[in-house]
Amino acid sequence: LKFRLAGYPRKHNEGRIEVFYNEEWGTICDDDFTLANAHVLCRHLGFVAATGWAHSAKYGRGIGRIWLDNVNCAGGEKSIGDCKHRGWGNSDCSHEEDAGVICKDERIPGFKDSNVIEVRSLLARLGSQSLTVCLELCVSLWCQDWQGVGTLQAPHLSLRDRWSTTPPLLAGLAALVSGLLSPCRLFSGRQQLNYRLHSVSCTGTEVHLSMCTFEFYRGNASAACGAGMPAVVSCVPGSLFNTGNAHKKKQQQQQQGQLRIRLKGGAKVGEGRVEVLKGSKWGTICDDHWNLQSASVVCRELGFGSAKEALTGARMGQGMGPIHLNEVQCLGTEKSLWNCPFKNITQEDCKHTEDAAVRCNIPYMGYEALIRLSGGRSRFEGRVEVAVGAGNRDQPRWGLVCGEGWGTLEAMVACRQLGLGFANHGLQETWYWDTSNVTEMVLSGVKCAGHEMSLSHCQHHGSRLSCKNTGTRFAAGVICSETASDLLLHASLVQETAYIEDRPLHMLYCAAEENCLSSSAHLANWPYGHRRLLRFSSQIHNNGRADFRPKAGRHSWVWHECH
């Protein structure tokens, strides 16, 4: 069984509940529906519990079968199939009675979201990583990977359908180019095409194709489609995923002042708290009415695909400074978030606990296949090993990275490439992780800016290896974390509160013992005279999603008599 939330308008944690059973998506009738049913369904979706449920197709009427009716759960069942019901497909309801759920906005730790459309298995079957960059792609195989429904019939697809067809296929795509109705030469010679979908009708604002209306072919699917042909799309990559040096393109784009929007606080590429630039100040967006359509406008503006999730409640950490926008309501066709209707914020409207965030679809570039960790106690730590020669048909050769100059910025890129989130530590010696049979240094002089998606995008010595200590104990290592603290000084408060004070020396003994005074203080005539001090108030904000803890544990803290 697979489950998903659908319908509009809704937030990411609510919607019409749909279940994939017997190779077909369908809905659940609201007859005898209870909160206990919603608890079971929300756990299926990766949420810890339900806070409510909806009846009478609140999130719109579904299509296809109504799989379940008169569902009666106790609340503790592991699967909705374990609950009492009338039997699969046995219902006297119409889609006007489709049930919905409202889940608690808290994820089950480690839950893999089954509602995310993955393209990895598809690309493996296509057999070329370069296809992720610029690809003319048969929708037929994608549909089979997606929900086993076969091929789309092309004649019914219009120009506006192309906008919503592509982003879920290869997220990270900025635009579509012509060629939708060209013959499906990639696969027509290899397999018998079975058409399952036709009359697909999209408005262009859908975040993936399953949200459009369409019809199924019944009976002999191989004889369907008549004089038609398989639907084909051709896609153009966003700037981050184009060929060439990705981080240089990003820098050029920012230098041109094109972007007034950014993502912050996310552990992976294409996710984060949404921040916008207004009047030379970066600020956040309030999550009132925040939905997938508005989130998709943000993702596409940044060069990604449609949105996987529109996150509310500061799920990517709380921002600081102004909250610029409230009640953003995009149609989904806008090129920029600034083209969407919104309300200017007032002080009473929102707090940073309501900062909006997004998770975008991005293309599968295969970067994580070129790096691995060895020797660590968990999958989040270890000695860094990279693959060289992976572009050839030969087997890639694995080697070590020289630890000389390796630091936090390089570790950030390595953890991002591994898909493991943030870097806790970048280690220059890893003798305690000496468990692998990989002993050759293959990369040295690595110097990253911190935002690259792969170590190969950072500066390095290339084939001219230069490493003073080539032993395995001096190989680079990382400790990664899915969450991290992010400390930020409230700089404007320092400016606003700064003042000069002449303070007697006899009141500065503690400050002197803790080296808080300048080096000339030890020449003063203690305890007579005074020092001229710059005084100010300070606030340090933790914008991250993990508690900040000092490196020294409590057992090693020293209690000073002054405080």
Q: Check pLDDT > 80 for residue 155.
A: no
Best-predicted range by mean pLDDT among 241-255, 342-356, 373-387, 506-520? Answer: 373-387
Q: In the chain, how long is the greatest CA-to-CA distance?
A: 101
Is the predicted pLDDT of residue 22 greater than 50, yes or no?
A: yes
Q: Tokens for 284? A: 């956040």
2-103: CATH number: 3.10.250.10
- Kindly give the residue spans of alpha helices, DSSP state H, lying in 95-158: 120-126, 139-147
**Residue 455 carries which side chain, given as an amino acid letter?**
L
Say if residue 179's pLDDT is above 60: no
Q: Please report where in the chains the tokens 């000496």 appear, as a residue.
A: 434
Domain ranges in the chain? 2-103, 261-360, 367-481, 489-542
Instruction: Give the residue-averaged pLDDT of 14-19.
Output: 93
Segment 320-347 shows an average pLDDT of: 86
Where do we find the tokens 């592509």? Answer: 166
Phi, psi of 308 (to 5 degrees): -80, -40
d(C-alpha 88, C-alpha 79), whole Å: 14
| Average confidence (pLDDT) over 36-55 | 93
2-103 shares its CATH topology with 367-481: yes
Confidence at residue 314, expressed as pLDDT on a 0 to 100 scale? 87
The pLDDT tens digits for 387-403 are: 987 655 667 889 999 99
Tell whether the model's pLDDT for residue 148 goes beyond 80. no
Per-residue pLDDT reduced to its tens digit, 121-136: 333 333 333 332 223 2
Give 347's pLDDT tier (boundaries 50, 70, 90).
Answer: low
Q: What angle do CA 432, 437, 441 make, to 5 degrees?
A: 80
DSSP 242: S
195, 153 in Cβ contact below 8 A?
yes
pLDDT tens, position by position, 390-439: 655 667 889 999 999 999 999 999 999 999 989 989 999 999 898 888 98
Single-letter residue type at 500: I
The full DSSP string for 381-443 is: EEEEEEEESTTSSSPPEEEEEB-TT--HHHHHHHHHHHT--EEEEEES--GGG---S---EEE
- pLDDT tens digits for 192-214? 677 778 888 888 777 778 778 88
Tokens of 270: 């294409």
Residue-wise pLDDT for 541-562, tens only, equals 887 778 887 777 778 887 776 6
pLDDT at 346: 63
Percent of the chain at pLDDT > 70 equals 79
Does position 104 have pLDDT exceeding 60, yes or no?
Answer: yes
Phi-psi region of 300 (alpha: psi -120 to 50; beta: other; left: phi over 0): alpha
Helix (H) or strand (E) holding 172: none
* 413, 455 Cβ separation under 8 angstroms: yes
Percent of the chain, pLDDT > 90?
A: 36
Architecture of domain 367-481: Roll (3.10)
- What are the pLDDT digits (tens) for 460-488? 998 888 888 888 899 999 999 988 888 88
State the average pLDDT over residues 358-363.
90
DSSP SS3 for 271: strand
User: Which DSSP letter does residue 315 get?
Assistant: T
- Round to the nearest angstrom and report the end-to-end CA distance of the chain: 60
- For residue 495, the surrounding DSSP H or E stretch is helix 491-497
Fold of the 261-360 domain: Mac-2 Binding Protein (3.10.250)
Contact in structure between 83 and 35 (CB atoms under 8 Å): no
Residue 28 has pLDDT above 90, yes or no: yes
Taken in order 428, 429, 433, 434, the sign of the CA dihedral is positive
Average pLDDT over residues 340-355: 81
Question: Mean pLDDT across the stretch 16-22?
Answer: 93
Residue 317: which of 108, 478, 490, 548 has the closest Cα?
548
Residue 165 has pLDDT above 90, yes or no: no
Q: Which residue has the higher pLDDT, 395 or 533?
A: 533
Alpha-carbon Rg for the chain in angstroms: 28
3-state helix, strand, coil split of the chain in percent (to 5) is: 25, 25, 50
Check pLDDT > 70 for residue 331.
yes
User: Quick one: average pLDDT of 48-54?
Assistant: 92
Q: Which of 68, 79, 8 is nearest to 32 (CA)?
A: 68
Average pLDDT, the chain: 79
Q: Which residue matches tokens 């294409």?
A: 270
β-bridge partners, 270: none
How many other CB atoms are found less than 10 A from the CB of residue 13? 25
